[in-house]
Structure 1
Amino acid sequence: MNEQTSPERRIVVGVDGSPSSNQALRWAIRQADLTGAAVDAIACWHPTTVYDWMLHAKDPHQDATARKTLAATVADALQDAPPVQVRQSALPGKAAEVLVERSSSADLLVVGSHGHGGLPDTRLGSTSHSCVQHAHCPVVVVRPSES
């Protein structure tokens, strides 16, 4: 008998350490528990530029900082969460571009309404706005809870 295996369900979520992205990660974990999906938590860092020229050598501090922020955010989100597989990736590039690219093989993309650098009076940050416009799968934009 030849059994077909269904492809793994994937939820991609952008994480930058902001309250909005922390809420997005928690939402993605709850959704993954309901749907049997795995979560791909992605932090992005933009390579250092000098006068619009990208440096050839990757700055190890940016990568390390992104990985540290991602690990701390995931650990915090998983404290009271259901047992869900969460894979972590810190990737170079602009967050919107990386997340849109990763959405091509995802069932769902989850982002915060605005993260680092977001203006407090805006309804949607530039990364979430770009993801909503260009993602290859459905997008959920999570606003930080009012506290």
Structure 2
Amino acid sequence: MVMTTEDFDQWSPQGPVTELSVEHCWNLLDGSTFGHLGVSVDDQPEIFPVNYVADGRTIVFRTARGTKLRELVANSAVVFEVDAQLENGAWSVTVKGAAEMLGPDTPVPAAADVLLPRWVPTAEYLYVRITPTDIRGRQFERQLRLIVPPRPRTTRVVVGLDGSEASLDALRRAVLVAEGIGATVQTVVAWHTPSSVGTFGYSDWTAEADAEQIRDTATETVFGDAPPDWLTPTVREGYPAQVLIDESRGAEMLIVGSRGHGGFAGLLLGSVSTACAEHAHCPVLIMHAPGS
């Protein structure tokens, strides 16, 4: 299977965010030289990229005389932000403070001439110092979560249901087998009305309704009220052994219980597992009833 970047959720909204101490913030600022300066001009925000150096507990950058940036930051409130991405996350430090132009007699850090490039060689540059009034930092941990698409279910496991505990165990085992080989599960309940039923006077009972009840009860018992979409229930008229043998064509496996539940169905299911083992078109797994 070929994985692409779409298979990864690189930034988890639930990922940890750490508030950084002031000391940690300054350590990060000391290790960087590029940031973003935000100012307000006529009640509109302006952002400028600047190179800087951290001088003690202040920020120093250089601007050309007469530039718009120089006029904006002189004696004004500013916000300064530095961030970086790491292999396993990212961090951001925000500094709020007051910016002031440094006079010609004001000493500047020795690193300024080395680290702050002169973008216009002929321009006359002045220095600006930001004295922080507030500094905050956060570190974000990047969480890589591999999203594996569900394997397509290209084959089928058939399981016979008759209302017995053995058939419920057969269904549970069918689910395990199907998950392991990437198969769907087909439940099969067969119904047949014996000719003698009419003599007993069960006017409200039908074999088909009984089979549907067996199907519904088994599904709810094993899956609750949310059966998976790879479950295919089948209710068919016919003798159980023959119906299961027919449905086993093209299946990966047929799983049945070894006992019925008595009554009319019990008369029909006594030899189902034996017949399936002898005549099914796929391997057969027989689940014995608890205590048998």
TM beyond 0.5: yes
- The residue that corresponds to 1:98 in the other structure is 243
CA shift, 1:26, in A, is: 0.8
Residues 18-44 of structure 1: per-residue CA shift (max 9 Å, x gap): 111111011101111111110000101
* 2:218 counterpart residue number: 73
Task: After TM superposition, list the pairs within 5 Å mapping 1:124-135 onto structure 2.
Answer: 125-135=270-280
Quote how far apart the aligned CAs of 1:109 are.
0.3
CA contact (8 A) 1:32 1:84 kept: no
User: Structure 1: which amino acid aligns with 2:231?
Assistant: V
Tell me if structure 2 keeps the 8 A contact 1:100–1:135. Answer: yes
Q: Give yes or no for the alignment of 1:23 onto 2:169.
A: yes
Q: 1:13 aligns with which of 159, 169, 178?
A: 159
What is the one-letter code of the residue matched to 1:140? Answer: L
Partner of 2:207: 62
CA distance in 1, matches of 2:274, 2:229: 28
Q: Which has the higher contact order (CA 8 A, sep 6+)?
A: 1
Task: List per-residue Cα deviations over 1:45-92 (Å, max 9, x = no partner).
Answer: 1134259xxxxxxx982212211211111111114x995721111110
Q: When you count strand as a share of all residues, which structure comes out higher? A: 2
2:187 aligns to what SS in structure 1? strand
Is 1:112 paired with 2:257?
yes
Q: Pairwise CA RMSD of aligned residues?
A: 3.0
State the secondary structure of the residue aligned to 1:90.
strand
Contact 1:67–1:89 (CA under 8 A) maintained in structure 2 = no
Partner SS for 1:89: strand
1:144 and 2:271 matched = no
> Per the alignment, do residues 37 and 60 of structure 1 end up closer, same or farther by CA in structure 2, a change over 3 Å counting?
farther
> Equivalents in 1 of 2:291, 2:230: separation in Å?
28
Give the ranges of 4+ consecutive aligned residues of structure 1 lying more than 4 Å apart after TM superposition. 81-84
| 1:91-120 per-position Cα deviation (integer Å, ceiling 9, x unaligned) | 1011000000111121100000112239xx
Which deviates the most, 26-35 or 7-16?
A: 7-16
How many residue pairs get matched? 129
Alignment pair present for 1:86 and 2:231? yes
Give TM-score, length-normalised by structure 1. 0.76
| Code of the aligned partner of 1:65 | D
**Bigger mean CA offset, 131-140 vs 83-92:** 83-92
CA distance in 2, matches of 1:106, 1:141: 15
Q: Assess if the C-alpha contact under 8 Å between 1:44 and 1:92 holds in 2.
A: yes
Contact 2:153 2:184 in 1 (8 A): no
Give the Cα separation in 2 of the matches to 1:85 and 1:145: 27
1:129 corresponds to which letter in structure 2? T
Residues of 2 paired with 1:16 and 1:103: CA distance?
Answer: 17
Taking the aligned partners of 1:47 and 1:77, their CA distance within structure 2 comes to 27
* Corresponding position of 2:193: 47
SS in 1 for 2:206: helix
